[in-house]
Amino acid sequence: MVDVSAVMSALSAQRIELPSWAFGNTGTRFKVFAQPGVPRTPQEKVDDAAQVHAFTGVAPSVAVHIPWDRVDDFAAFAAYARERGVSIGTVNANVFQDDDYRLGSVANPDPRVRAKALSHLLECVDIMDATGSADLKLWFADGTNYPGQDSITARQERLAEALAAVYARLGPGQRMLLEYKLFEPSFYTTDVPDWGTSLVHCLALGPQAAVVVDTGHHAPGTNIEFIVAMLLRAGRLGGFDFNSRFYADDDLMVGAADPFQLFRIMHEVATAGALHPDAGVAFMLDQCHNIEPKIPAQIRSVMNVQEATAKALLIDTQALAAAQQAGDILAANAVFMDAYNTDVRPLLAELRTTMGIDPDPITAYHRSGYAEKIITQRIGGTAASWGS
Ligand code: RM4
Ligand code: MN
C-alpha cells in the first residue's frame, strides 16, 4: 500500500529550478520569433520566474547564464530576487559565444584562449560568492569537426587542467556540475560527449564535482534512467537539465515528448531517496520556448515534472519488490504501469490547495493579468535573447 500522506509531503518538499533564458526570446538558427512583453533585463527575467513560483509553489530559484545575466552588482541582484520570493540558483558559465572559441575554450590548442576561458569560469565562482549560489554548471561546446583536426588526448589533458583550476577555487559549500552533450556544435568529437567522460573527470576532481544529465543530450533510444541509476549509485548525480527532445537537442518542455521516460527517471530518483532537496540532486529546467508563450510554458513544465514525480511516488514499492523477487515479470510491470496510468492531477490540485495556492496554476496565471501587464509595460529597450 502506498502512503499517500508521505507522497504529499515529498511533493510539497520538491524544488525545481527555472532557467533565466527560458523567459527571453529564442529560436533556431533559422529565425528568432520575438514575443511582446519579453524581459529586457536580468531583473525582469527574475520577475517572470517569480510568477512561475507564485503559481506553482515549488520553483523558488532561478539559474543564471553569464554573460547573458551580467549585472553590475550581483549581491544586489540576489537581494532583488529575494524580495520577489526567489533566489539566484545555479550559475551557468558561457565559453561558447566568443570569436576566440572557434577551436574551443578550455581545450583550445592556444594557451591564450584557454587562459581567457579559465578566467571566465573563475569569474563565475566570484559571482556565486556574491549571489550565494551553490552550483557552477559547466557545459563546453569544445570539440572538433574533422578527424585529425586536433588530438583527442591532448584536448582531454587541457580540459582536465582547467577543471582542476576551477575546482580548486570552489568554496566548501560550492559544487561544480559538469554537463555532457553528444554532439553539436561540434560534429566529429565533443570533449565531454557522455556521462562516462563527465564522471571520469568528476571522480578525478573530488567530491564537489558531479555530473549533470541534460535529458536532451543523448542519442535517440538511449536509456537515460539507466544512466541516472548508475550516477546515483556512484553518488555523482549533481542534477538534471530537464527538457524534451524528439530529434536532437530540441529543448522543448520537459514531459512533452515522452512523459513515460520522465516517469521512469523519477522512479530511479525516488528509489534512491534522492528527491528531497537535501539529497544534492538539482532539478533544473533547461528549455527554450521559441513559439509558445514563455511563462505559462514554464508553469506547464513544472507541472509536468510534478506529475511524473507523483506517479513515481505512487508505485507500490513493496508489491514491486515482491514481484521482482518472485520473478513475476508481468506482475512487476503491472505495478509499475498502474502507477504510471494513475491520473495524479486531482492529487496535485489538492496539494496546491494545502500549500495555499490555486489548484489550477495555468488558469490562475491567465486570470492574474500579468501577461497583459508586461506587454503594456515592457515597451522599448532590447528584449532579452541568447546574447543578453
Ligand atoms: C547547452 C547546454 C547548457 C545550456 C546552453 C544554453 O546546450 O544545454 O546547459 O546552458 O545550452
Ligand atoms: Mn543543458
**Average pLDDT, integer, range 142-148:** 98
Element (H, E) at 90: strand 87-92
Residue of 60, 62, 63 lying closest to 85 (CA atoms): 60
Protein residue whose Cα sits closest to atom 9 of ligand 1: 139
> 214 CB less than 6 Å from ligand 1?
yes
pLDDT in tens, 360-377: 999 999 999 999 999 999
Cβ(251) – ligand 1 distance below 6 Å: no
Displacement of CA 359 from its chain's centroid (Å)? 25
The stretch 260-272 carries a mean pLDDT of 98
C-alpha cell at 372: 497583459
Separation CA 230–CA 236 (nearest Å) = 9
- Whether ligand 1 lies within 6 angstroms of the CB of 92 is answered as yes
pLDDT value of position 171: 98
CA of 180 to the centre of ligand 1 (A): 10
Q: Residue 387: its pLDDT value, please?
A: 64
Which tens digit of pLDDT belongs to each residue from 30-76? Answer: 999 999 999 999 999 999 999 999 999 999 999 999 999 999 999 99
CA-nearest of 5, 62, 4, 10 to 305 is 10
Measured in angstroms, how far is the CA atom of residue 230 from the centroid of ligand 1? 23
Report the distance separating Cα 6 and Cα 30, nearest Å. 48
**Any idea which residue has 543578453 for its cell?**
388
Per-residue pLDDT reduced to its tens digit, 307-353 = 999 999 999 999 999 999 999 999 999 999 999 999 999 999 999 99
pLDDT of residue 1: 87
Q: Which ligand is nearest to the CA of 19?
A: 1
Q: What radius of gyration do the chain's Cα atoms show?
A: 21
**pLDDT digit string, tens, across residues 210-262:** 999 999 999 999 999 999 999 999 999 999 999 999 999 999 999 999 999 99
Under DSSP, the state recorded for 93 is P
Residue 386's pLDDT is 76
Q: Which of 57, 133, 147, 127 is nearest to 89 (CA)?
A: 133
What DSSP state is assigned to residue 275? -
CB 71 within 8 A of CB 64: no
Distance CA 311, CA 54 (A): 23
Cell representation of residue 332: 512487476
Asked if pLDDT for residue 388 goes beyond 80, the answer is no
Residue 238: how many CB atoms within 10 A of its CB?
Answer: 25
How many Cβ atoms sit within 10 Å of the Cβ of residue 86? 24
For 58, the enclosing helix (H) or strand (E) is: none
pTM of structure: 0.98
pLDDT, tens digit, 9 for 90 and up, residues 81-129: 999 999 999 999 999 999 999 999 999 999 999 999 999 999 999 999 9
* Contact (Cβ atoms closer than 8 angstroms) between residue 81 and residue 91: no
**294-313 and 370-377 helices, crossing angle to 10°:** 150
